[in-house]
Structure 1
């Protein structure tokens, strides 16, 4: 059993994980991070190691305190990857490395897959049947879309995401919800169709903080996997621990 940690842009997730099963899971903050890690370690004293993926900001002292509690494996570009990276940028984000690895841990041999992560941004990541990672797309997430409408106009209110029953808005509020929720849902559907044209049997995973809300608006066939990031972090730890 190890402690798996995802330091994202909007929240920190920690989980006691054993053989790809999430035994204990919680969200925490930078302020409570160390105390919550200590609490999990106290509950599961067999935890001696942690695997960490960081894309959000956190005080370096917090990481140093964590390293005094357990041995920490960090997701970084130099680690061994279970896929061939064909991305042309000099670096691939740690979160995308973890997501791709989580999907690979779930697919069968010679299956291709598309991972849709609906968080602060919506990312699309494609892996072909030979485990080549090609990249995909990055798009604004729900919160960014709501904030953009509010921040870059004079009179539109700042709303919070919610499911919609009708795509035709009959007020400013319902029109904003339709434009944001239905707009992103249609984007996702169109993106899935594009990838299905490349491979009709492609396996589609959807994860991220807004995945559950968006899934109610989508009728495309995909696998909703709320812990895909954590599974990928665990998989990368296992993949690298004997090197």
Structure 2
């Protein structure tokens, strides 16, 4: 049994990988892990080193090997498009690795809707065709509020694909339109046969794109991590 960790900018997500199966962990604490027969930890981290160190200490798993996965020029039949492959975000790299196994022989457009929203394209031969990065739904709104004097926002987000009639709805609806518009524009490029969504905001965004044939893959990043174990 292996512990899989996706350490993001705002939080960490965890799962267990055992005999080909992935099961998410809702509570990541030393108490929840201490009775498990763990062999090693495989993790991806886009946060800074101090956050990683604090997590390692909190989980009390110093006795296990920790394997950090980084983006590569090529692995498992997937070729990175970056001239400096290590600069591709590891979460994007893992999404490509997972998609290449899940949709073997098909071209894929991967939307990862988190703090940032990323779109990546993978052709049917496993070549990464490049991608886009943009602020996610909340980050877009925060940016506008922080950089302007008279625009404000409320929580929770209740966006609609309609014109707003006061500042909050104008902001929220506009940011939603920007993201869904980018996704539609990406799909219109006709570089993929399959449209895959993952990330925390994926369920919400999918609901605003009912006409698109979307394959939700909430475990995509963990499936990419598992490729380094289940080769």
Cα distance per residue 1:62-113 (max 9 Å; x no partner): 44776623222210245962112232235222211111112122113x2111
Does the 8 A contact of 1:95 with 1:229 survive in 2? yes
Structure 2: gaps spanning 5 or more residues: none
SS in 2 for 1:238: coil
Offset at residue 237 of structure 1 (A): 2.8
| Counterpart position of 1:87 | 82
Of 18-27 and 206-215, deviating more is 18-27
Q: Structure 1: which 4+ aligned runs deviate by more than 6 Å?
A: none
Equivalences for residues 1-243 of structure 1 within 5 A: 1-26=1-26, 36=29, 38-44=30-36, 46-57=37-48, 58-60=51-53, 62-63=55-56, 68-77=62-71, 81-82=75-76, 83-91=78-86, 92-108=88-104, 110-160=105-155, 162-165=157-160, 167-194=162-189, 196=190, 198-199=191-192, 202-219=193-210, 220-239=212-231
Q: Quick one: distance in 2 between partners of 1:111 and 1:166? A: 31
Does the 8 A contact of 2:206 with 2:214 survive in 1? no
TM-score, length-scaled by structure 2: 0.87
The 3 A distance-change label for structure 1 pair 172 and 185 is same
SS in 1 for 2:16: strand
Does the 8 A contact of 1:162 with 1:213 survive in 2? no
Does the 8 A contact of 2:160 with 2:173 survive in 1? no
Computed over aligned residues only, the root mean square deviation of the Cα atoms, in angstroms, reads: 2.3
Q: Quick one: distance in 2 between partners of 1:119 and 1:4? A: 18
Does the 8 A contact of 1:12 with 1:27 survive in 2? no
Number of aligned residues: 225
Of 76-85 and 123-132, deviating more is 76-85
The 3 A distance-change label for structure 1 pair 16 and 90 is closer
The 3 A distance-change label for structure 1 pair 113 and 161 is farther
Of 151-160 and 138-147, deviating more is 151-160
